[in-house]
Structure 1
Amino acid sequence: MEKPKKKQVLLFHCVEAEELALKVAAQSDLIQLQSINWRSFDDGFPNLFINNAQDIRGHHVAFLASFSSPAVIFEQLSVIYALPRLFTASFTLVLPFFPTGSFERMEEEGDVATAFTLARMLSSVPISRGGPTSLVVYDIHALQERFYFGDTLLPLFETGIPLLKQRLHQLPESDKIVVAFPDDGAWKRFHKLLDHFPMVVCTKVREGDKRIVRLKEGDCAGCHVVIVDDLVQSGGTLIECQVFLLVFLPLINEFEHINFYSSDRMSAEVNLCKLRLANFHSK
């Protein structure tokens, strides 16, 4: 029995994802890169045109999106809503990062769970000739967000952890690698995928208006540490965790108390930590 022929995919993309789309298309002859004219009227609203729209009938179509800011979501949604209506055999939406994923629940009355709002907007994508739209998202903040989407859209949650594991095993002294999680949230999200590595879990405790990094469990003495977090914005949490693990654990007997602050601007304590970190590396 002959194997079915592999399907050809027409790949559209937003402006920001052009470089990534070129790399994806270069991986297979079955992926054909397509183009869209991303223009704007004088008032700033989008003036869009899908090139060769007649030629995509009956083809499998994918769109590589990037919701990097609220300003670009409307124009991309306009194209996303239009593509399945061009009589496509199937439609796949690839959204590598789900931007509102960290606000997926209400903690008090009045909170607006914007993750649910964006999920409803994406659930309005029309059904193509082949059925519901497939949505591919990488490392979404919370797996339960799968249930925020309607029945006309099928979410597929992927992860980049296998690529990370592959790279870690290729490093020298891979047997001395320890995975560190800066907080419990990151540990809960990824520890099962990295359970064959020794682990260190940090935590932040409040003392007044300050947040102090503490070691919750694990030991990384004499090891190479890789910090894994579920969401990075300013990177402040990663820096605090790095400084704590590299400087204050080896030198803990020299300090009675160290404070860290979660802010975009470095506090004096964090600057001191960075100085000691540089001295630590120079030894």
Structure 2
Amino acid sequence: MESSNGEAAMEKQRKDIHLFYCVESEDLARKVAAQSDCIQLQSINWRSFDDGFPNLFINNAQHIRGQHVAFLASFSSPCVIFEQISVIFALPRLFVASFTLVLPFFPTGSFERMEEEGDVATAFTMARILSNIPISRGGPASLVIYDIHALQERFYFGDHVLPCFETGIPLLKQRLHQLPDADNICVAFPDDGAWKRFYKQLQHFPMVVCTKVREGDKRIVRLKEGNPAGRHVVIVDDLVQSGGTLRECQKVLAAHGATMVSAYVTHAVFPKQSWERFTHENSEGSDKGFAYFWVTDSCPLTVKAIAGRAPFEVLSLAGSIADALHI
């Protein structure tokens, strides 16, 4: 009884939040709102003129004055970014008390390197755009991002926004503890970058680290350290594109005695339906593929595409986002 009273008291202390969302993120937005009575969904009319440019209208604009406002974005392709940026820049100027942008997947983050003169660092460009979100009555906008691809990207944002970097790893840990073989889990990283990003959050699991080595014109995945023999090995990374590296890691781990191999990525990008290569019906027997493939709902289009298809299982960020909105 005391704990329920305590939870009720905490809920009363939470601020009321008006949550807007893009078309792609509607399902996730509804899940976020279901986490708390303090989060109220608001809508936008996403219309276009005959020439294709956005014709947008923020509903209830008068009623959000003095209120805490958030926007749940999904930058899945360049064609949807501009209309969302237009809304993101408009909302803080409606005399709101505070503004929070939730962008679970920072998509240009895999293009942060400039290896030769002429390369364009689109991650830095996007960070500069988002750093210029107008200041609301309560101060700089907050920006919530999950498992950003390159750690240095957190320093790309200017002082006019307050980046809040979250992670989906707690969802994975919770799911792993529910498995029947939870005491036999080993975590594997496909490269040193993934190890640096996640090892501190997974230190209580035995670990395996893989690496890519060049042999002629090919890059081969090899086992660098750790012993997967007799273990259910879970490969952990921040995102997947074609999935080639994950497949090669799976083969290497199985060859070194792993009894089962699964995978987790926060961001299931999977361009050109590359997720299809991981479904059990497309594997050479499910025992030769992945037992589980966990992803979050940071990429809404992928989530819809893989619904009900083994071995995929979606771990929702909704609860974590709801908590982040109350920070």
User: Which TM-score band (shorter chain)?
Assistant: 0.7 to 0.9
Return the alpha-carbon distance in structure 1 between the equivalents of residues 189 and 175 of structure 2: 18
Structure 1 SS opposite 2:177: helix
Larger radius of gyration: 1
The answer to whether 1:14 aligns with 2:22 is yes
The answer to whether 1:231 aligns with 2:239 is yes
Return the alpha-carbon distance in structure 2 between the equivalents of residues 214 and 280 of structure 1: 18
TM-score, scaled to structure 2: 0.75
The answer to whether 1:178 aligns with 2:186 is yes
The answer to whether 1:222 aligns with 2:234 is no
CA positional deviation for 1:278:
4.8
Match of 2:50 in 1: 42
Preserved CA contact (<8 Å) 2:228 2:257: no
Alpha-carbon distance change, 187 to 41 in structure 1, aligned in 2, over 3 angstroms: same
The answer to whether 1:65 aligns with 2:73 is yes
Alpha-carbon distance change, 276 to 123 in structure 1, aligned in 2, over 3 angstroms: same
The answer to whether 1:249 aligns with 2:256 is yes
Preserved CA contact (<8 Å) 2:230 2:257: no
CA positional deviation for 1:243:
2.0
The answer to whether 1:80 aligns with 2:88 is yes
Return the alpha-carbon distance in structure 2 between the equivalents of residues 275 and 34 of structure 1: 46
May I ask how many residue pairs the two structures share in their alignment?
259
Structure 2 SS opposite 1:83: helix
Deviations 1:33-73 (CA, angstroms, capped at 9, x unpaired): 00000011111101100011100000000000000111100
CA positional deviation for 1:105:
2.9
CA positional deviation for 1:210:
1.3
Return the alpha-carbon distance in structure 2 between the equivalents of residues 101 and 52 of structure 1: 34
The answer to whether 1:53 aligns with 2:61 is yes
The answer to whether 1:90 aligns with 2:90 is no
The answer to whether 1:153 aligns with 2:142 is no
Letter in 1 for 2:153: E
Match of 2:117 in 1: 109
**Which structure 1 residue ranges, 4+ long, deviate > 4 Å from structure 2?**
274-281
CA positional deviation for 1:5:
3.5
Alpha-carbon distance change, 107 to 58 in structure 1, aligned in 2, over 3 angstroms: same
CA positional deviation for 1:148:
1.0
TM-score, scaled to structure 1: 0.86
Match of 1:270 in 2: none
Match of 1:260 in 2: none
Structure 1 SS opposite 2:237: coil
Match of 1:268 in 2: none
Deviations 1:95-153 (CA, angstroms, capped at 9, x unpaired): 00000112223222222111110001101110000000000000001232222111110
Return the alpha-carbon distance in structure 2 between the equivalents of residues 277 and 38 of structure 1: 42
Alpha-carbon distance change, 19 to 237 in structure 1, aligned in 2, over 3 angstroms: same
Match of 1:202 in 2: 210
Preserved CA contact (<8 Å) 2:221 2:248: yes
Letter in 2 for 1:140: I
Deviations 1:227-281 (CA, angstroms, capped at 9, x unpaired): 10122111121111112212x2249xxxxxxxxxxxx99xxxxxxxx64885799
Gaps of 5+ in 2: 1-8, 259-271, 275-282, 291-327
Structure with greater contact order relative to length (CA < 8 Å, sep ≥ 6)? 2
Structure 1 SS opposite 2:30: helix
Deviations 1:201-244 (CA, angstroms, capped at 9, x unpaired): 11111111112121101111111111101221111211111122
Preserved CA contact (<8 Å) 2:17 2:39: yes
Structure 1 SS opposite 2:63: helix
